[in-house]
Copies of this chain bind each other. A is one copy, B any other.
């Protein structure tokens, strides 16, 4: 059974003060359904991804909220896996389609993060870490440990890390929905405000509002993008239980699973949306996915091997860093963006890589025309 992406949509990402969460989810779903040339009543089930509306606005039960946007109240399920919520909802939908119970479903992810203070947002996001052993650690602090370790172990430089942000801002210039449309330089990243040494402001993905949706179907639709495979692996939630800070074993495991299902090699993948919540995370990702040898991700980036026109395009959307990171939306946005990217002929095969927390959850999807 083949699962196809027959429609997709991404709302603008950014500080969207005139849209609430339910409007964002509704906008994305309606546009994706229209893009699939379907009507809302063709949707048999909905899978909704969201990390923390329970904290941001005391709204749980989003499955009921999205179902009632449809005249026929289709069954709906909410999935949460921290910042990997979007790709986890994709998996829930894929398993449902493979079960044969449904033929056409919608996956929608969204987050509305800018209605509370930055301090409150940082606290809410820290709920993806281990509240027993990592309490008080913000995510910039956890990824700073990872960055320090990568620099110490492999000699990764400040400039190499900054090159990730520079490249992703450059890519975002061509993405109309991106939060930032502003090119930056390595010097600007290096001199931006220190957040958690060595990470600086321009190493961090922003706080964003936004939503994305895809329509998945096991029906044949000519020319549609195929979801060739998906992998899902876990590691310890807390960094202190890991044998290494410079490898995300969950990324490695998810990649192995996904690749094994496709019959493709890494060399056949022309683009990848990877989880660059911080610049250092993209360096780990392109190494752990096997695109570059361990320790050489920074060098590859500064040598433009991951820029459009390079060996493999990493984060053509601008990534979490420059397109934005409404956490529940991100995993769905990666798939929706790559669907458009493939459909307009910019790649034949591409990969999406979504991470929860500091690497405890990783999901990889591989898509092909």
- Across the interface, A241 reaches (CB within 8 A) one of B68, B76, B232, namely B68
Min CB–CB distance A93 → chain B (angstroms):
9
- Across the interface, A127 reaches (CB within 8 A) one of B61, B237, B356, namely B61
- How many chain copies? 2
Interface range on chain A: under 10, 10 to 19, 20 to 34, or 35 or more?
35 or more
Alpha-carbon separation in the docked complex, A80 to B60 (Å): 8
A81-B82 in contact (CB<8A): no
Alpha-carbon separation in the docked complex, A124 to B52 (Å): 13
Closest to A102 in B: B95
Can you list, as one digit per residue, whether each of A62-101 has a CB less than 8 Å from chain B (1) or not (0)?
Answer: 1111011000011111111110000010011011111111
A68-B236 in contact (CB<8A): yes
Closest to A327 in B: B60
| List of B residues within 8 angstroms of A54 by Cβ | 52, 54-55, 124, 127
| List of B residues within 8 angstroms of A82 by Cβ | 60-61, 64
Alpha-carbon separation in the docked complex, A76 to B95 (Å): 13
In the complex with contacts A98-B100, A360-B68, A60-B91 CB distance below 8 A: no
Can you list, as one digit per residue, whether each of A232-264 has a CB less than 8 Å from chain B (1) or not (0)?
Answer: 111111000100000000100000000000000
Alpha-carbon separation in the docked complex, A184 to B46 (Å): 43
- Across the interface, A357 reaches (CB within 8 A) one of B61, B99, B130, namely B61
In the complex with contacts A68-B236, A73-B233, A130-B65, A99-B88 CB distance below 8 A: no
B126-A361 in contact (CB<8A): no
Q: Is A153 an interface residue (CB 8 A)?
A: no
Q: Is A59 an interface residue (CB 8 A)?
A: yes
Min CB–CB distance A235 → chain B (angstroms):
6
A357-B91 in contact (CB<8A): no
**A-B CB proximity, top 3 nearest:** A98-B99, A64-B360, A67-B234
List 30 A-B pairs, Cβ < 8 Å: A54-B55, A54-B127, A55-B55, A57-B131, A58-B123, A58-B124, A58-B126, A58-B127, A59-B127, A61-B81, A61-B128, A63-B234, A64-B234, A64-B237, A64-B356, A64-B360, A65-B237, A68-B237, A73-B250, A75-B234, A77-B88, A77-B92, A78-B79, A79-B92, A80-B80, A92-B95, A94-B99, A95-B99, A96-B99, A99-B99
